[in-house]
Chain A
């Protein structure tokens, strides 16, 4: 059972609002990731972090920002939500304790965001 949690599970919000999607993991993993996924489509990596105070942009350009002040916490923020931000956002973490050849991802349940 993965110990990675995302809140809220669903969020419906109006255009222009500032939102923060929460992601926390209790496994002590250094690496964390945010993916964006539209229904039936591929996952797009939008942000990742290798540890505290480390954040990088992913392969898909995103207007969101992230922070990593604590190992267990990796929130994603949208300063001004728009309808084009409507999507599912998935948080994940990984840790190569067994070496890079054995590393795997643990995912949260996701946040379904709808911007009206």
Chain B
């Protein structure tokens, strides 16, 4: 099993600004994934980056992976009020148990 630890715990920004959140993990991985959770709902998959990739883009999302530091970052550009949510990272390595941290609570102010 893997542990994703997100940082910061909470982030508040103005609409239009960029939001950056970080994730650290403990052991080698197959991939690292980011999920979003709106209040009181289930998680939605955002983006997956494989262990042999260093950067990946999807719309306004940019994910980087540094396997030497066992860390990843998620950048949301030109944030919108609708981006307000909690963001979680998780990873797998051989087992199929996905372990999540406490997430980063992002609040985008209009």
Contacts and interface: CB of A to CB of B under 8 A. Distances in A.
Interface residues of A, number: 31
Interface stretch (A63-71, A72-80, A97-105): A97-105
Contacts of A103: 31, 92, 96
B22 to A, nearest CB: 16
A33 B100 CA distance: 13
A59 to B, nearest CB: 7
Chain B's interface size range is: 20 to 34
Given A42-B101, A45-B97, A48-B97, A105 B51 contact: no
B48 interface: yes
B24 interface: no
A14 B1 CA distance: 35
Contacts of B97: 33, 45, 48, 58-59
Contacts of B102: 40-42
A110 B105 CA distance: 19
Contacts of B90: 105
Contact of B48 (A43, A45, A104): A104
Interface in B2-41: 30-31, 33, 35, 40-41
Contact of B35 (A41, A45, A105): A105
Contacts of A112: 40
27 contacts: A31-B96, A33-B98, A40-B102, A41-B102, A42-B100, A43-B88, A45-B99, A48-B97, A58-B97, A59-B1, A59-B97, A59-B99, A88-B40, A90-B42, A92-B42, A92-B43, A96-B96, A100-B30, A101-B31, A103-B92, A104-B45, A104-B48, A105-B43, A105-B98, A107-B35, A107-B44, A109-B41
